[in-house]
Structure 1
Amino acid sequence: MSPRGVATPDVCERLFAAAERIVERDGPGALTSRAVTTEAGCAKGLLHAHFAGFDEFVAALCLDRFARTAAKARALAELAGRNTVTRNLDAVVLALFVSGGPSISGLALTRPTATLRIREALEGGAPGFGTIQEAVTGYLEAEQELGRVAERVDPRSVALAVVGAAHHLLMTGRPGAPDPRPSMTRLVAALVGDGG
C-alpha cells in the first residue's frame, strides 16, 4: 500500500491492470473503485484523485486498451514479408482479448456515461476499431504486393470481417463463455489462406 503523500509510479496503468484482474477473476459486477484500489494496493482515494469518477475511469481504461491495440495494428506495416500473415494478424486481433477484453467492453456498455465518453473520444479522433481496421487493410495490401496474400483477397473486406468479428465477440462476451481467441484465429486463417 502506498503511504499518503507518496507518489505512485505509473498510477493509471497500475489501476487499469488491477481492474482487468478483477474483471477476469470475478466478473464486471465486482468492479468498484474500492475493489480497484484494494487490488492495486494503493490508497482508496487514488482512483478519484486521477479520474473525475468511476465512469471516467472505465472509459479511460477502454480507450487506453483500444490505443494499445491500435498501436500494435499500426506496427503491422513493419511486419510485411516476415512471419506469416496469419500469425501477424493474430497478434493484433488477439490483443483485443487480452486481460478480460470482453468483460471490460461489456462493463462499458452497462455504464451509459462511460459509453458516452468513449463515443465522444472516438469521434474526436481517439484510436478505436476504425483505426485498427485501417491498419489491417494497409498491412494486407502490403502483403498482397509481396505476393503473400492472394490477389482474389479484398483487404478492405477481410479487415472489416476480422475487426467486425472481434468487435462482436467483445461486445457479446461474458465471464465463463468459451474463449473467443480460437474462433478468431480460425477466421483469420480462413480469410487470408495460409498467410505466406
Structure 2
Amino acid sequence: MSPRGVATPDVRERLFAAAERVVERDGPGALTSRSVTTEAGCAKGLLHAHFEGFDEFVAELCLDRFARTTASARALTGLVGRGTVAGNLDTVVQALFDSGGPAVSGLAMARPAAALRVREALAAGAPGFASIEAAVAAYLEAERDLGRTPASLDPASVALALVGAGHHLLMTAWPGSPDPRPAVRRLVTALVAGGADEADGGAA
C-alpha cells in the first residue's frame, strides 16, 4: 500500500487527525476526501498526492491506529509490578476507542476495498489485534509471576477475551450508540480482579 509520493509523517498525521475529528463530530457518513482536507486546512489535492485513493487513506488510518494501540500494549512491560493490573490493562484497551475509533473502523469495514487492504496488511504482519493480544498476554504472565494476579489466571485466555471484546465493540459501535468504554472497564475488572490488586488496595 504505497502512496504515490513520499508522505511525511507530519502530513499523514495531520490528515488522520482531521479525519478522526470529522467522524467524531459529524459521523462516518460525513467522511470524504474533501471533508478531511477542509478540516485539516490544506489543499484539496493533498490527500490524493499521498494516497492512491480514499479507500487507501481509510485503510492506512485504521492500520496506523492499530499500530499505536500495539505500541501501547507492548509498553505494558514497563508497568509490570506498578499501579494496578486492571488499571494498566484498561489504558491499553480503551485506546482502541479513542478519537472516533469505532466509527473509523466501521467505515473501513463498510468499504470493501479498504477492508481488503486492511486484511492484506494484517496478513503480511502489520500490527493488529493479534499483536495486541500477544503483548497483553505477555504482560499478564509477568504480573502473574509476581503474584499480582490469581495464580489460576490464564494470560492467553484473558488476553483473547479482552481483545476479542474490544474488537467486537469496535466493529459494532457507532456515534450515537452507547459508549463502549464502561463495558470494557467492567470486563477488565472481572477478568483480573482479586490477587494482588486487592492486596494493593487499588493503589495507582
Question: 4+ residue runs of structure 1 moved beyond 2 angstroms?
Answer: none
* Residue type of the alignment partner of 1:84: T
Quick one: distance in 2 between partners of 1:18 and 1:74? 27
Quick one: distance in 2 between partners of 1:128 and 1:180? 19
CA distances 1:37-68 after superposition (whole Å, capped 9, x unpaired): 00000000000000000000000000000000
Q: CA deviation at 1:142?
A: 0.1
After TM superposition, list the pairs within 5 Å mapping 1:68-79 onto structure 2.
Answer: 68-79=68-79
Quick one: distance in 1 between partners of 2:55 and 2:174? 20
Q: TM-score, normalised by structure 2?
A: 0.91
Quick one: distance in 2 between partners of 1:41 and 1:98? 22
Q: Secondary structure at the match of 1:162?
A: helix
* Residue type of the alignment partner of 1:28: P
* Residue type of the alignment partner of 1:121: A
Q: Secondary structure at the match of 1:83?
A: coil
* Residue type of the alignment partner of 1:48: H
Runs of 5+ unmatched residues, structure 1 = 1-6
CA distances 1:147-184 after superposition (whole Å, capped 9, x unpaired): 00101111111000000000000001111011100110
CA distances 1:45-96 after superposition (whole Å, capped 9, x unpaired): 0000000000000000000000000000011111100010011001100000
Q: Secondary structure at the match of 1:10?
A: helix
Asked if residue 118 in structure 1 is aligned to residue 118 in structure 2, the reply is: yes
Quick one: distance in 2 between partners of 1:179 and 1:80? 29
Q: CA deviation at 1:9?
A: 7.5
Q: TM-score, normalised by structure 1?
A: 0.95
CA distances 1:116-154 after superposition (whole Å, capped 9, x unpaired): 000000000000000000000000000000000101111
* Residue type of the alignment partner of 2:170: L
Identity %: 73
> Judging changes above 3 Å, is the alpha-carbon distance between structure 1 residues 70 and 8 closer, same or farther for their aligned structure 2 residues?
closer
Asked if residue 135 in structure 1 is aligned to residue 135 in structure 2, the reply is: yes
User: Hey, what does 1:162 align to over in structure 2?
Assistant: 162
User: Hey, what does 1:147 align to over in structure 2?
Assistant: 147
Q: Secondary structure at the match of 2:86?
A: helix
Q: Secondary structure at the match of 2:138?
A: helix
> Judging changes above 3 Å, is the alpha-carbon distance between structure 1 residues 134 and 8 closer, same or farther for their aligned structure 2 residues?
closer
Q: Secondary structure at the match of 1:174?
A: coil
After TM superposition, list the pairs within 5 Å mapping 1:35-50 onto structure 2.
Answer: 35-50=35-50
Q: Secondary structure at the match of 1:100?
A: helix
After TM superposition, list the pairs within 5 Å mapping 1:176-187 onto structure 2.
Answer: 176-187=176-187
* Residue type of the alignment partner of 1:145: D
Q: CA deviation at 1:8?
A: 8.4
Q: CA RMSD in A?
A: 1.3
